[in-house]
Amino acid sequence: MMKFFKKAAVVTLSVAMVTTLFAGCSSKKKDDKTWVIGTNAEFAPFEYVSKKDAVINDYAGIDIEIIKKIAEDNGKKIKINNMEFDSLIVALKNKQVDGVIAGMTVTDERKEEVDFSEPYYVAKQVMIVKEDNTDIKTAKDMEKKTIAVIQGFTGEVAVKELGYKYEAFKKGTEAIQELKNGKCDVVVIDSATANQYVKDNKGLKIVEDDEAFASEEYAIAVQKGDKKTLEKINASIKKFKEDGTIDTISAKYASSSDSDSDTEEK
């Protein structure tokens, strides 16, 4: 008796699973009006959660505005799938998302797994230290210091390449907290996000070293070989670079929390 129920349960479960599988397939094929876009919304000013600034659902930021424009340009809707940064490339490879916009730097390693659009933003790594710090003036000065990076970010790769020891945190906010608590001396992270942290947290400053840190380009990633989506995205990026849309969006976020740096505008 028990055995029969077990078997029946297994059969029912399998049928349910197969049905879900097919349902998944067909609904994906049917709805080519929607792009499912992966991001990690813990990277202001590019993507963050905010009811106040909301652009798509509760997501805001330069990337969210850019992808919204690109979607509109192609008659698509966007569904944002917020996940850990480290999961984004996996999600693309598993076809759980159609694209990724996440302040993601184009690297040769990543290019082996996904295809990148034309770049839409240029960034670099910088160092965040406490305002009264006087010993870190160049990247070399980090050698004997306690360094924090964010796991899987290009900042981690950069510090690794310099050959220094570091601790990797899951989130930028954790690394910044560590710095504020005096548990580490320096956080290495992308420039615009560093500016945002310094704006939002008292007592921090940025140290740059353009010789140690090369410039990086952010691009949208798509599934490897997905020429159709890539061509659409590239055409829109080209258009929005030329007509100033991307500059306008970036400028809006760069100044949005500055107190009165815009007073001269007419």
Tokens 């996000």, residue located: 193
- Nearest approach in angstroms of CB 192 to ligand ARG is 10
Phi, psi of 22 (to 5 degrees): -70, -40
CA–CA separation, 245 and 104 (whole Å): 20
- Nearest approach in angstroms of CB 257 to ligand ARG is 18
- Nearest approach in angstroms of CB 11 to ligand ARG is 43
CA–CA separation, 157 and 215 (whole Å): 13
**Is 166 in contact with 143 (CB distance < 8 Å)?**
no
Q: Given the complex with ligand ARG, which of 168 and 207 has the nearer CB atom?
A: 168
Q: Given the complex with ligand ARG, which of 38 and 133 has the nearer CB atom?
A: 38
Q: Given the complex with ligand ARG, which of 235 and 254 has the nearer CB atom?
A: 254
SS3 84: coil
Which residues bind to ligand ARG, rule: CB under 6 A?
A: 39-40, 42-43, 47, 85, 102-105, 153-154, 190
- Nearest approach in angstroms of CB 201 to ligand ARG is 18
Beta 114-116 vs 47-49: how paired, if at all? unpaired
Q: Given the complex with ligand ARG, which of 104 and 133 has the nearer CB atom?
A: 104
Q: Given the complex with ligand ARG, which of 26 and 107 has the nearer CB atom?
A: 107
**Is 191 in contact with 125 (CB distance < 8 Å)?**
yes
**Residues linked to residue 105 through DSSP beta bridges, in sequence order:** 218
Selection from 126, 136, 241, 130 nearest residue 189 by Cα:
126
Residue partners of 160: CB distance under 8 A and separation at least 6: 166
- Nearest approach in angstroms of CB 47 to ligand ARG is 5
